[in-house]
Structure 1
Amino acid sequence: MRAVIYDSYGGPEVLRLTDIDVPEPAKGQIRVKVLACAVNLSDWEHLTGSPLWVRTVAGLFRPKKPVLGSDIVGLIDKLGEGVSGFDIGQRVMGDYVFSLGGFAEYVCVPAKETVAVPDALSDEVAACLPQAGGIAVAGTEGLSQGDRLLINGAGGGSGTMALQLAKTAGAHVTAVDNSKKFEWLITLGADDVIDYSKVDFTETGAKWDRILDMVATRGPRELSRALAEGGTYKALGGGVPSLLSIVIGGKLLSRNRSIGMLLVPSGEALTNRVAELAVEGRITPHLEAVLPLSSVPEALDRTGRGDVLGKLVIKPGLE
């Protein structure tokens, strides 16, 4: 089968499209023929091995998994030992961030993390939902009418869906990203926009009830300046120094404010919930392009640079 593989950390240049053996499902796994696989920032982090904490999962000195791609939609091709409740030919989806393998024609994934794809969703749209949609749901949980929310990195897959959910809840949303995305973010409902390359949102004097940060680069002292009394800041990812300062210093340096990491309960239940929200029209992922396997290096490069409006999806069948 055709797959995009890598065996050392680096940039897009370490990836290569080649033929490898079709995998066999282990106990508790199912094998699927990949119909679509979204590109996530987590794929870029696993490719580069950066931030360094990623290597505690992906492999300390070299990657454990040769094929990236975690948000997968496919047709069940074979059931592993002990798997029940699924049928050959059934269309399924999931966020397989710990097993990966979606940038290939076939992949084996854990059955317990797999859900059926609603008929109303296309392969490409469904692939955008599990990880990015799960982050958006977790990051906007509990928002109320009139809350002031800032999304740092609002123009990516998770940010755009979080923006939609926040507006549905009646929140006032400030979107932080590069200026090329401003017009588009405003059409999605952003009330204010900030160019991160020119303005540090913690130095504007404005305060928000909630801050959802896709890539943390600031410490708790700076973040406290931007939080209203009783406000909450949640970071999804970032470098080791920033995350350590948030985890350790967030409790010590913030007063009457909550500063910490966003914990996303990924799995079957959350994926089902996100799919339901998409069917109901409450979230609509913005799909910038559907690309063949040969475009994985380019797609990862653009995702790593934050140069994508919403999501890119890889579709092996385009080859």
Structure 2
Amino acid sequence: MRIAAYHRYGAPEVVGVEERARPEPGPGEVRVVVHAASVGAADAAGRSGSPWFARLAFGLRRPRNAVLGSDFAGVVDAIGEGVTRFAVGDRVFGATGADGGAHAEAVVVAERGAIVPLPDGLSVESAVAICDGAMTALPFLREGGRVRPGMRVLVNGASGAVGSAAVQLAVQSGAEVTAVCGPAHVELAASLGAARVIDRTRDDAFSAGAPGAPFDVVFDAAGKSSFRRARRVLTAHGRYLTTVPSWAIMLQQLTSRLGRRRAVIMFTGLRSAEAKRPDLEELAALAVSGAFTPVVDRVLPLGAVAEAHRIVDTGHKTGTVVVTPVPEYQEA
């Protein structure tokens, strides 16, 4: 089978298509033909080995695993001994987590892993967009921000994979949402349900008197602001959430517990499979019902994986970039 592999850290060009033997599922495992996989910020960090904390997960001196990609959607084509949840031919989607391996024509995952049935009416591209964005946004809003009806929420980076999901999920929770994005994405953010949209090139969402302020929650989905800046527009007991770890934010998370305003960093990818499966099912049901729309930037073949990484590196993608190792119309 074909895989997208890399053997050293660097620019997008270090990732290329290679051949590898198709893996066989062991006891309690299933093999999935991958019809779609996301290329996201975590993949870009793993490929480049930057920022510093990426190498703690991917390997200190060189990549630990040659194949990136944690979000997948496809069809089960082989099952190991003892598998009861799935059968050959089932449409499924999910995430492999730190194991990666989804940027390939087939991936083996544990039956007890973060894998669930792919419902009718949900495309494989939308399914991996759910994994890439909404599976981060949901726990941040639910546990990190404790978002409830009537709260005011600011989403910075509202057009990215996590941000576009956060806008919609916060609205679904009954919050009044202010979205911050670049001028090219103002209409998109408004269409996702934001009560107001701030063009970051024209107005400062973190200045005193910013539209919609003060906020109960500032969700920095882009990781481009700071707790120090957000404090200006937070309510007395407001929370600043960020997806990007740093020494500063981890220290602020500890020290802010002594005050009223809180800084919060979460490592949602490290949650257990048991915690992830219900969220995958809930988000898929919302998408099928039309209450939530996963945003897809573009869909590329596996051979264009380096281009997918380049798009992610720009920091200006809209939603999720998807690669299709085995297109759905093609025989596995």
Indicate whether the TM-score tops 0.5: yes
- In structure 2, the residue corresponding to 1:202 is in which secondary structure? coil
CA distance in 2, matches of 1:221, 1:68: 34
- In structure 1, the residue corresponding to 2:61 is in which secondary structure? coil
Map Cα deviations across residues 228-250 of structure 1 (whole Å, 9 max, x no partner).
11212222224x23433333333
Which residue of 250, 261, 269 maps to 1:244?
A: 250
Asked if 1 retains the 8 angstrom alpha-carbon contact of 2:132 and 2:320, the reply is: no
Asked if 2 retains the 8 angstrom alpha-carbon contact of 1:216 and 1:242, the reply is: no
Structure 2 counterpart of 1:44: 44
TM-score by length of 2: 0.87
Deviation (angstroms), 1:263 = 5.0
Map Cα deviations across residues 46-84 of structure 1 (whole Å, 9 max, x no partner).
111222112111111111111111110121122234433
Deviation (angstroms), 1:226 = 2.2
- In structure 1, the residue corresponding to 2:249 is in which secondary structure? helix
Structure 1 counterpart of 2:301: 292
Asked if 2 retains the 8 angstrom alpha-carbon contact of 1:220 and 1:249, the reply is: no
Report the residue type matching 2:59 in the other structure.
Answer: G
CA distance in 2, matches of 1:220, 1:284: 29
CA distance in 2, matches of 1:189, 1:68: 33
CA distance in 1, matches of 2:195, 2:281: 30
Report the residue type matching 1:247 in the other structure.
Answer: Q
Structure 2 residue 204 is the aligned partner of structure 1 residue 185: no
Asked if 1 retains the 8 angstrom alpha-carbon contact of 2:249 and 2:263, the reply is: no
Which residue of 231, 235, 238 maps to 1:228?
A: 235
Asked if 1 retains the 8 angstrom alpha-carbon contact of 2:85 and 2:111, the reply is: no
Structure 2 residue 217 is the aligned partner of structure 1 residue 216: no
Structure 2 counterpart of 1:87: 87
Report the residue type matching 1:290 in the other structure.
Answer: V
Q: Which consecutive unaligned segments of at least 5 residues does structure 2 have?
A: none
The equivalences for 1:28-67 within 5 A come to: 28-67=28-67
Q: Percent identity between the aligned chains?
A: 35
Which is further off, 276-285 or 264-273?
264-273
Structure 2 counterpart of 1:144: 148
Structure 2 residue 28 is the aligned partner of structure 1 residue 16: no
CA distance in 2, matches of 1:66, 1:199: 43
Deviation (angstroms), 1:196 = 4.1
Map Cα deviations across residues 148-170 of structure 1 (whole Å, 9 max, x no partner).
11111110122112211222333
CA distance in 2, matches of 1:13, 1:288: 21
Structure 1 counterpart of 2:292: 283
CA distance in 1, matches of 2:227, 2:88: 50
CA distance in 2, matches of 1:54, 1:27: 31
Deviation (angstroms), 1:115 = 0.9
Deviation (angstroms), 1:199 = 5.2
Deviation (angstroms), 1:210 = 0.8
Map Cα deviations across residues 179-232 of structure 1 (whole Å, 9 max, x no partner).
221122122222333344565533344421111122435554333222111212
CA distance in 2, matches of 1:248, 1:202: 23
Deviation (angstroms), 1:38 = 1.9
Asked if 2 retains the 8 angstrom alpha-carbon contact of 1:38 and 1:72, the reply is: yes
CA distance in 2, matches of 1:315, 1:32: 13
CA distance in 2, matches of 1:301, 1:8: 16
CA distance in 2, matches of 1:242, 1:305: 24
Structure 2 residue 260 is the aligned partner of structure 1 residue 256: yes
Report the residue type matching 1:88 in the other structure.
Answer: V
Report the residue type matching 1:176 in the other structure.
Answer: V
* CA shift in 2, pair 1:217/1:251, >3 Å: farther
TM-score by length of 1: 0.90
- In structure 2, the residue corresponding to 1:203 is in which secondary structure? coil
* CA shift in 2, pair 1:300/1:248, >3 Å: same
CA distance in 2, matches of 1:17, 1:81: 31
Structure 2 counterpart of 1:310: 319
